[in-house]
């Protein structure tokens, strides 16, 4: 880790800063999780060793809780599961917990403890920090969170085996506090869905900025190569979004920039317990675009009207989210259409409530196979995002990819190819060239480039070829639009 060093960041406590000049796409550091677990809700859908989603998993014969792709994953995960296996079995054998496994927080806390005990209390492969130095923010926790913490500690003590080393309650609650504010979302291999939570100690040192100079991405590595020399471990990578000068603090954003300053600050205070004073917060930068009204022939729509439609949109968004969670997609589209009709003449094309409607409308319409209409909304969404996001933002890259695929599917090959190229350029930096999504994009870029050439030569041949190509797409974008994309890096979210 010769790119960065720990320093005292004014007003923020410890932070990391660059020790030499870094360029867009550079990896500042990468690290495997110190410990990680699969979410309770996905315990039988995700491999507990490699965190990949699989249709058929094999259950651990002992605890009947952990599940794996195959024997290879099971033996790779045994080191971490060995002590856990017996403890889960014992936990679920009696009393109130009969047949149950402890929750994800408890399982993660125990994995951290076992590993610390084994390594003599230090995090051995960590150069920059120790667990004791990480903040737990227990004194900042609201009443309800403290109650939950007490329940977790109580269950932890039930779960922790008598023959493992015993710890003080203070040390146990410190670990829960650290997980609470530093637990990092582990996503599936494509990075589209959150599947678990892990602790990445060095990442905990990276402070927040609403307009950061770095981004963090989970790379599952490569376990499929025949030659094990080419196998690589699951790890996070901290990547530069632009040029960083030596001495400059490196930052990531804990929240989505597609929120106004007030909302970002509220989220940061509630989940991470600090008041953001970054330049974008101080200057309320781009808030006017995100809440703005339309300008028609040089005349602004009256503020009163903008406010009215903004409030109406908020109600409709809540209704829409509900219908979406219920899987009632025709209802979702009905709500979107009703709302967009009111928004269109009044709100700016960067108004975030309008962007959310366009985003959902395009996603759900694509799922329902109304591809042309889906492409139109996807384009409006990306145009808006381009005016709001940093040009190298990972969400922007993913949204551009989605819009590009939709255009491609709609037969709008020129726009589609352009968007796919743009998304590829962004993801090469934010995700890196070996990430599965970047590789998908590379394949799509080549495919659409070929199709574009063909289209220009002979439109008829192109059209018949496209039909065939669509039958074996390189990636499915037709997943049910139920699952929210991973927008929050850290897991600290109310359940
Ligand atoms: Zn696996
Ligand atoms: Zn087991
Ligand atoms: Zn800020």
pLDDT at 224: 62
* Ligand 2 ion local residues (Cβ < 5 A): 60, 62-63, 66, 85
Could you identify the residue written with the tokens 């933002």? 393
Give dist(CA 281, CA 269) in Å, integer.
13
Confidence band of 366 (pLDDT split at 50, 70, 90):
very high
306-364 pLDDT, tens digit each: 999 999 999 999 999 999 999 999 999 999 999 999 999 999 999 999 999 999 999 99
| Residues near 145 by beta carbon (within 8 Å), at least 6 away in sequence | 180
**Distance between Cα 76 and ligand 2 center (Å):** 13
Q: What is the mean pLDDT of the chain?
A: 90
pLDDT tens track for 106-157: 999 999 999 999 887 666 555 677 888 888 999 999 999 999 999 999 999 9
Nearest ligand, CA 234: 1
- Domains defined along the chain, listed by start: 42-183 (1.10.220.160), 292-368 (no CATH)
**Residue 325, class by beta-carbon neighbours within 10 Å (0-12 exposed, 13-18 middle, 19+ buried)?**
exposed
Tell me the β-bridge partners of 16: 6
Tokens for 305, please give them. 């009207």
Q: 484 falls in which pLDDT band (50, 70, 90)?
A: very low
Centroid of ligand 1 to alpha carbon of 243 (angstroms): 37
Gap from CA of 205 to ligand 3 centroid (Å):
17
Question: Residue 66 in contact with residue 56, Cβ under 8 Å?
Answer: no
Residue 495 pLDDT > 80: no
pLDDT above 90 covers a percentage of the chain that reads 76
Give distance in angstroms: CA of 23 to centre of ligand 3. 23
Q: Give the whole-angstrom CA distance, residue 336 versus residue 351.
A: 15
Closest CA to 61 of 90, 37, 85: 85
Task: State in Å: Cα 36 to ligand 2 middle.
Answer: 15
Which residues lie below 8 Å from residue 137, measured CB to CB, with a gap of 6+?
Answer: 177, 180, 181, 272, 273
> Using one digit for the tens of pLDDT, what is the confidence trace for 202-256?
999 999 999 999 999 999 887 665 555 555 688 999 999 999 999 999 999 999 9
pLDDT digits (tens, 9 = 90+) for 264-303: 999 999 988 999 999 999 999 999 999 999 999 999 999 9
Measure the CA–CA gap between 54 and 140, rounded to whole angstroms.
39
């Amino acid at each position: 880790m010769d790119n960065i060093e720990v320093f005292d960041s004014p007003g923020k406590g410890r932070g990391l800063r660059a020790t030499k000049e870094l360029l867009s796409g550079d990896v500042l550091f990468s690290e495997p999780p110190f410990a990680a677990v699969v979410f309770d809700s996905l315990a039988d859908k995700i491999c507990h060793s490699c965190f990949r989603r699989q249709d058929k998993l094999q259950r651990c014969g002992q605890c009947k809780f952990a599940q794996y792709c195959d024997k290879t994953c099971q033996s790779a995960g045994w080191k971490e599961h060995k002590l856990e296996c017996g403890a889960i079995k014992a936990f679920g054998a009696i009393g109130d917990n009969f047949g149950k496994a402890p929750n994800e927080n408890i399982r993660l806390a125990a994995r951290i403890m076992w590993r610390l005990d084994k390594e003599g209390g230090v995090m051995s492969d960590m150069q920059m920090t120790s667990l004791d130095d990480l903040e737990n923010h227990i004194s900042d926790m609201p009443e309800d969170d403290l109650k939950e913490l007490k329940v977790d500690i109580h269950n932890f003590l039930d779960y922790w085996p008598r023959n493992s080393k015993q710890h003080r309650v203070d040390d146990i609650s410190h670990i829960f506090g650290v997980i609470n504010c530093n637990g990092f979302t582990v996503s599936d291999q494509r990075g589209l869905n959150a599947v678990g939570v892990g602790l990445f100690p060095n990442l905990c040192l990276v402070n927040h900025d609403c307009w950061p100079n770095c981004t963090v991405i989970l790379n599952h590595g490569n376990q499929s190569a025949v030659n094990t020399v080419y196998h690589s471990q699951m790890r996070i990578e901290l990547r530069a979004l632009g040029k960083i000068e030596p001495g400059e603090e490196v930052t990531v954003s804990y929240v989505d920039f597609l929120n106004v300053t007030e909302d970002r600050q509220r989220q940061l205070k509630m989940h991470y317990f600090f008041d953001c004073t970054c330049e974008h917060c101080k200057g309320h930068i781009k808030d006017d675009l995100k809440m703005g009204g339309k300008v028609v022939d040089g005349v602004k729509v009256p503020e009163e009207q903008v406010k009215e439609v903004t409030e109406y949109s908020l109600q409709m968004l809540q209704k829409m989210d509900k219908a979406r969670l219920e899987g009632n997609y025709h209802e979702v589209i009905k709500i979107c259409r009703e709302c967009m009709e009111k928004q269109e003449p009044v709100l700016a094309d960067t108004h975030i409530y309008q962007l959310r409607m366009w985003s959902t409308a395009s996603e759900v319409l694509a799922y329902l196979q109304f591809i042309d209409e889906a492409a139109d909304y996807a384009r409006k969404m990306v145009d808006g995002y381009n005016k709001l996001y940093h040009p190298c933002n990972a969400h922007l890259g993913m949204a551009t990819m989605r819009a590009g695929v939709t255009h491609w599917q709609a037969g709008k090959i020129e726009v589609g190819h352009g968007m796919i190229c743009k998304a590829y350029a962004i993801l090469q930096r934010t995700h890196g060239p070996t990430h599965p999504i970047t590789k998908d994009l590379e394949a799509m870029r080549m495919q659409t480039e070929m199709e574009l050439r063909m289209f220009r030569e002979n439109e008829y041949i192109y059209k018949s070829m496209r039909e065939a190509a669509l039958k074996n797409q390189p990636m499915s974008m037709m997943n049910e639009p139920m699952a929210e994309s991973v927008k929050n890096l850290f897991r600290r979210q109310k359940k």
